[in-house]
Amino acid sequence: MLSNREILQRFVVIEGIDGAGTTTQLNLLGTRFTQHGCAHVATAEPTDSPIGQLIRRYLGGDLHCHPGTLARLFAADRFNHLFDPENGIKRHLDDGAWVLNDRYIFSSLAYQGTLWDYERVHELNREFPLPEYLFFINTPSEIGSKRRNSRSHKEIYEQDSIQSEVYDGYLRILEEYKNTGMHIHVIDGALSENEIHEILWQVLKTSDTV
Ligand SMILES: Nc1ncnc2c1ncn2[C@@H]1O[C@H](COP(=O)(O)OP(=O)(O)O)[C@@H](O)[C@H]1O
Ligand SMILES: Cc1cn([C@H]2C[C@H](O)[C@@H](COP(=O)(O)OP(=O)(O)O)O2)c(=O)[nH]c1=O
């Protein structure tokens, strides 16, 4: 049951296809939180842990595996990211900080769920709590494609046909998760970096704890 999922307060997730600008927005938000003296941790998935580094090797194309293996690696990396006793998301939230995260379960559902098997990916991510805020930067694949093409190094998902499927997957997931109690904001990815940032900031600023 999606409606019974635990929601972690002060946990913020930014999602979008490759090139949507999630990394850009994470950095801008982190700077803004710092300027306002608001305790926070800015982080991302896949993480820098050994599991995350292994995932990067698959994404880079120098290792190959069954898509089910990759789905499980993302879930293992996420479990560690959430529950690591010293540096995990839960620990930071329990200490009173905000956690700003570039990608979370919605990436697994949109990428592995679309490209492999939605039900199995859903099952692998069922135990994870939901964020209080989910920002989806709504960047259709044509716009993302132009931005991705300026990168020298391509990862395995950085192809227009794949990104277009993943984009459609995100739209389905947003619909599926709309009544779960998260604050979901869909933001026009064609806006400038600063315009998008201001929208995110205005939403978070009105929360009583920032
Ligand atoms: N709203 C935007 N408008 C135009 N360019 C953007 C925007 N957001 C990000 N970019 C640019 O697009 C590229 C990809 O951004 P990035 O944040 O790395 O995307 P992601 O992490 O979602 O793949 C970068 O060159 C970045 O400066
Ligand atoms: C967290 C996560 C990421 N991904 C993909 C999305 C991206 O294509 C890739 C790396 O994410 P990321 O580092 O955010 O990409 P970018 O280079 O755009 O900043 O991993 C999944 O397929 N499943 C997941 O669960």
State the closest ligand 2 atom to the C-alpha of 20, by its place in the atom list counted from 1.
18
How far is Cα 195 from Cα 202, in angstroms, rounded to an integer? 11
Global confidence as pTM:
0.97
State the average pLDDT for the chain. 96
CATH of the domain at 66: 3.40.50.300
Q: Which domain holds residue 171?
A: 2-205
Q: Give the model's pLDDT for residue 209.
A: 66
- How many CB atoms are closer than 10 A to CB 190? 12
pLDDT tier for residue 133 given thresholds of 50, 70 and 90: very high
Query: From ligand 1's centre to the CA of 180, what distance in Å?
Result: 29
> Considering only CA atoms, which residue is closest to atom 19 of ligand 1?
21
The pLDDT of 62-72, averaged and rounded, is: 96
Q: Would residue 122 count as lying in a domain?
A: yes
Q: Is 210 part of a structural domain of the chain?
A: no
**Number of structural domains the chain divides into:** 1
The number of the ligand nearest the C-alpha atom of 163 reads 2
The model's confidence at residue 208, banded by pLDDT at 50, 70 and 90, is: low
User: What is the ipTM score, two decimals?
Assistant: 0.97
